[in-house]
């Protein structure tokens, strides 16, 4: 075939290539509320370890693991005989100081009386020597200083007694709030307290579990959709097929530097105590976006070793538009990239539709 005939054949073939039909769909834009499954952890709303502040022996343990207690209820009673001795000694010292103060007050009264008589007599010239009056005045000042000193000693003795009685109050351990005893590590006769050798081991652990904290680590990409007071669903392996709810109550407002997540606390009502602290629920976390999502069929996205793109048809000309694949929404998928609502893209994208190729748009009725 000559060169002229080849050129004529190519020119005659161009209209046929330009009429290559491509089934297209329009890019859809709509608001999408999705859910992602995030792991969470249930924690007690209040949690405290019960320790002995003073050294003593356990006399009675009024509760055990699983006991429901009320605020102020007696949990453990300790005995410390040496503390009773210390209180008795402090009270004895206080009484002794009070007796000494009484004697000092009597001496002060006597000195004042003597001084008053001498001062009255000194009004008559020659009756009282001036030196005797000065000595009497000095005696009053000395007696007053001694009485004041005993007043200070009495206050110190009273403070010592009150301090020891306050410590004696720590021999009775009470519940700081309503809750459930979840741990017990002592029995009657056990030596407890700061110097007992038990280290930091608590006597009991008290948890409030009629309401719980559900802590969820929300990924950075989902932080913008956090809504306080939102009602969120979750499930736990202990109750398959059953759904529970929590309310977003506390937001950390800071990302963890290692995991790039933000801790969010949901408050969970647990009146029947079916849920327990330490459970790991699966949270159906709602994902809300500030802008509508762009949606196309999954087949419209082409992934090669070099890029991910969608084939857009602009005035019958093929364009490759780089995109990123998002989450599925029904039978469509969300995409991110320089596409707009209403753009025409090939329903079945392929790298065989080369950029710049002229095609015929086939847009089925929708």
* pLDDT tens track, the chain, 366 positions: 454 544 444 444 444 444 688 899 999 998 877 778 999 999 999 999 999 888 889 999 999 999 999 999 999 999 887 777 666 676 667 667 667 777 767 776 776 777 666 666 666 665 556 666 677 667 767 767 776 776 777 777 677 767 767 777 888 999 999 999 999 999 999 888 876 655 578 999 999 999 999 999 999 888 887 888 889 999 999 999 999 999 999 999 999 999 999 999 999 999 999 999 999 999 998 877 667 889 999 999 999 888 999 999 998 899 999 999 888 888 999 899 999 999 999 999 988 888 888 998 888 866
Domain stop point among 156, 187, 202: 202
Decide if 9 is inside a domain: no
Q: Same domain for 67 and 176?
A: yes
Single pTM value for the model? 0.63
Regarding whether 181 and 232 lie in a shared domain, the answer is: no
Q: Is residue 1 part of a domain?
A: no
Q: What is the CB-side half-sphere exposure of residue 227 using CA atoms within 13 A?
A: 12
Where residue 316 falls (left for φ over 0; alpha for ψ -120 to 50; beta otherwise) is left
| Residues making up the chain, counted from first to last | 366
355: in domain: yes
CA distances from 229 to 124, 153, 163, 266, 267 (A): 93, 59, 47, 9, 9
Please, is 50 exposed, middle or buried when counting C-beta atoms within 10 Å of its C-beta (0-12, 13-18, 19+)? buried
279/233 same-domain check: yes
Domains of the chain: total: 4
- The boundaries of the domain holding residue 345 are 20-31+292-362
Same domain, yes or no: 156 and 262: no
Identify the CA nearest to 322 among candidates 308, 339, 341.
Answer: 308
DSSP state of 358: B
Q: Residues with Cβ < 8 Å from 3, sequence gap 6 or more?
A: none
Domain annotation covers residue 228: yes
Asked if the structure places residue 2 within a domain, the reply is no
Residue ending a domain, among 158, 180, 202, is 202
Rounded distance, CA 204 to CA 239, Å? 29
| Residues paired with residue 175 on neighbouring β-strands, in sequence order | none
Element (H, E) at 153: helix 130-169
Best CA proximity match to 267, nearest among 288, 283, 246, 251:
246
């Amino acid at each position: 075939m000559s060169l002229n005939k080849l050129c004529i054949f190519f020119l005659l073939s161009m209209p046929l290539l330009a009429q290559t039909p491509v089934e297209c769909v329009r890019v859809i834009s709509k608001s999408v509320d999705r859910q992602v499954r995030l792991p969470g952890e249930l924690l007690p709303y209040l949690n405290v370890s019960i320790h002995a502040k003073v050294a003593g022996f356990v006399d009675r343990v009024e509760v055990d693991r699983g006991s429901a207690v009320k605020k102020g209820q007696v949990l453990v009673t300790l005995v410390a005989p040496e503390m009773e001795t210390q209180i008795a000694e402090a009270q004895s010292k206080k009484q002794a100081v009070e007796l000494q103060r009484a004697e000092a007050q009597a001496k002060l009264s006597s000195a004042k009386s003597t001084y008053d008589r001498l001062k009255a007599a000194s009004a008559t010239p020659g009756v009282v020597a001036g030196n005797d009056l000065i000595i009497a005045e000095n005696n009053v000042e000395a007696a007053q200083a001694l009485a004041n000193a005993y007043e200070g000693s009495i206050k110190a003795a009273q403070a010592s007694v009150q301090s020891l009685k306050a410590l004696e109050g720590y021999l009775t351990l009470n519940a700081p709030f309503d809750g459930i005893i979840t741990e017990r590590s002592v029995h009657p006769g056990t030596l407890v307290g700061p110097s007992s050798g038990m280290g930091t081991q608590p006597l009991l652990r008290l948890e409030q579990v009629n309401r719980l904290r559900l802590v969820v680590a929300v990924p950075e990409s989902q932080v913008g959709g956090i809504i306080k007071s939102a009602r969120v669903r979750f499930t736990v392996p202990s109750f398959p097929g059953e759904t529970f709810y929590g309310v977003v109550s506390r937001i950390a407002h800071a990302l963890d530097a290692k995991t790039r997540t933000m801790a969010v606390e949901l408050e969970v009502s647990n009146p029947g105590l079916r849920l327990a602290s330490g459970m790991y629920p699966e949270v159906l976390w709602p994902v809300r976006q500030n802008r509508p999502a762009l949606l196309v069929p999954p087949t419209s996205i082409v992934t090669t070793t070099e890029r991910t793109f969608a084939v857009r048809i602009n005035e019958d000309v093929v364009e490759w538009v780089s995109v990123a694949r998002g989450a599925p929404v029904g039978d469509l998928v969300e995409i991110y990239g320089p596409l707009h609502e209403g753009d025409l893209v090939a329903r079945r994208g392929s790298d065989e539709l080369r950029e710049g190729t002229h095609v015929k748009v086939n847009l089925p009725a929708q």
